[in-house]
Amino acid sequence: MKKIILILVLFFLVPCCVFAQEGEEIIENVEDSEEEIFLETQLNLFEQSEEKDEPKIKGEIKEEQTLAERLKEVYNLEIERTDVAVPLFNELTTMHFENGPLKSFHPWVAVQTHGRYDFNEGEDNDFFYKIGLININLDGVLKSGKEDFRIMLNPTPQNQRPFMQNFILDAYIATNRIPHHRIIFGNTRPAIGMEGAQSPYTLPFINRSQISRNFGTVRKFGLRAVGNYDFIDYDLGILSSDTYFSSFFPGMEFDGWVNFKPLAKTDGKYGKLVAGGGISTGKRDSDFFVTGAFVGYEYKRFSTRFEWAHADGSNGATSFTTNKANGFYSTIAYKITKKLQVLFRYDEFNPNTDIAHNKKREYTTGINYFIKGQAARLILNYIFCQNNIGPDSHRILVGTQFLI
């Protein structure tokens, strides 16, 4: 009961405190402008800058151009930002309407492919190649320009669960009428951890960290309030504890995350610093409670992040469990050029703290080559897996990403 009371107080107190901090000052909300709304709803470490979320693209596609001329300009596009994901043919495939209920409609497709080579001492080496992800995204902005929606379909071949349970991922409608806020209703990826809530199109490595893929990265149905101010942003949600449409409202769940940005008013002179934390709690088969903390820093071409999480039961992508578990990861990255990035991650996880010597460690070295930002990207990862209760392993992952 104390946890539930604390959650409800947090849900209503955080927005109130922020409004009190702003006082009578009125700041124009980016979402309220006439520019096309960027539909990514997840918290992202370095998206909360004073720049808009559209990429910096050299060259402008004019309506009077022929299709061949448009395709030529798309070929010559230079997308500089890599912290947001915008499809390569964004301008070509966006439809604008003078009449009807829609202001614009934008269908696009995301495809990721993975090649994996395992080589372990005393075992046969194994290589396989697969389609890691196919997402069909249908994004629309209503006539008012204040509301938008997304339907994300997932026809990716997989055998973890029935096809239809995994077919509809995002299915939501959102309003941006409240300054600095975005209210979302439907099936979305809630803020369970920083990386656990991050879009798969901007992940630094092919695989998420162990705490992210065990505790988070799952869609749930409900209501979320996402706020963004200069020094603070937050994502608070009341949702069903069901995952992948496997059962009808097995219980209620609260997912909340708050970030603080102390260097927000320094114009990047000292870099960008984000520190935050949150909880995920509710009831499914029984009670569960996950808490986490995050620190991230970026300065010019260098960036680093650290995230920790502890669970007394969890309800993430790997299914509900009552196990007590914990883990953390730490990543450092450096962009040698605007297109070439090198990075390293240490990742430690204990899936059941009641079992002694049960930790799993992953050491990952990676290279990203951004051909056209996140719209066309090549990925190379080497992972050394150190397992206390099983054999160690080595693997090389080669990936591609295309957003079209």
Q: What is the pLDDT of residues 163-175, one digit of tens each?
A: 888 899 999 999 9
- pLDDT-based confidence at residue 288 (cuts at 50, 70, 90): very high
In this predicted structure, the answer to whether residue 91 has a pLDDT above a threshold of 90 is: no
Give the per-residue pLDDT at 231. 98
From 372, 318, 403, 345, select the one nearest 133 (Cα to Cα).
403
Higher pLDDT, 128 or 122: 128
Q: Are 225 and 239 in contact (CB under 8 A)?
A: no
The CATH class, in words, for 30-113+127-362 is mainly beta
Higher pLDDT, 289 or 75: 289
In this predicted structure, the answer to whether residue 1 has a pLDDT above a threshold of 50 is: no
Q: Are 202 and 246 in contact (CB under 8 A)?
A: no
> What is the Cα–Cα distance from 52 to 326, expressed in whole angstroms?
36
Give the per-residue pLDDT at 76. 75
- pLDDT-based confidence at residue 30 (cuts at 50, 70, 90): very low
Q: What is the pLDDT of residues 227-276, one digit of tens each?
A: 999 999 999 999 999 998 888 889 999 999 999 999 999 999 999 999 99
Q: Is 59 exposed, middle or buried (0-12, 13-18, 19+ CB in 10 A)?
A: exposed
Give the per-residue pLDDT at 128. 84
In this predicted structure, the answer to whether residue 26 has a pLDDT above a threshold of 80 is: no
